[in-house]
Amino acid sequence: MSELNQFQQLREDQVEAASKVLARAFQDDPLFVYCFPDPIERKIKNVTYCEYLILNGILYGDVYTTSTDIEGIAVWWPFFKRDQNLEKQSKETKRRMRKAKRESFSDRGFVERYGVFTEVQNSFENEHVNFPHWELLIIGVDPIHQGKGYGSKLLRMKLAEIDEQNLPCYLHTEKEGNVKLYENFGFEFVGKIKVPNSDFHFHGMLRNKKK
Q: What is the CATH number of the domain that holds 122?
A: 3.40.630.30
Sorting pLDDT into bands at 50, 70 and 90, what band is 87? low
Q: Is the pLDDT of residue 100 over 60?
A: yes
Please write the tens of the pLDDT for every residue from 156-194. 989 999 999 999 999 999 999 999 999 999 999 999 999
The pair phi, psi for residue 83, each rounded to 5°, is -60, -25
Sequence-separated (6 or more) residues with CB below 8 Å from residue 175: 29, 30, 200, 203
Give me the mean pLDDT over the 116-137 stretch: 94
Using CB atoms within 10 A of its CB, is residue 85 exposed (0-12), middle (13-18) or buried (19+)? middle
Question: So what's the pLDDT on residue 4?
Answer: 44
Q: Is the pLDDT of residue 198 over 80?
A: yes
Q: Taking the mean position of all CA atoms in its chain, how far away is CA 159?
A: 14
Rounded to an integer, what distance in angstroms lies between the CA atom of residue 22 and that of residue 52? 11
Question: So what's the pLDDT on residue 157?
Answer: 87
Neighbours of 158 (CB within 10 A): 21
Sorting pLDDT into bands at 50, 70 and 90, what band is 86? low
The pTM score is 0.90
As for how many domains the chain has, the answer is 1
Q: Which domain holds residue 19?
A: 3-207
Sequence-separated (6 or more) residues with CB below 8 Å from residue 123: 193
Q: Give the closest residue to 185 by CA, choosing from 210, 164, 206, 203.
A: 206
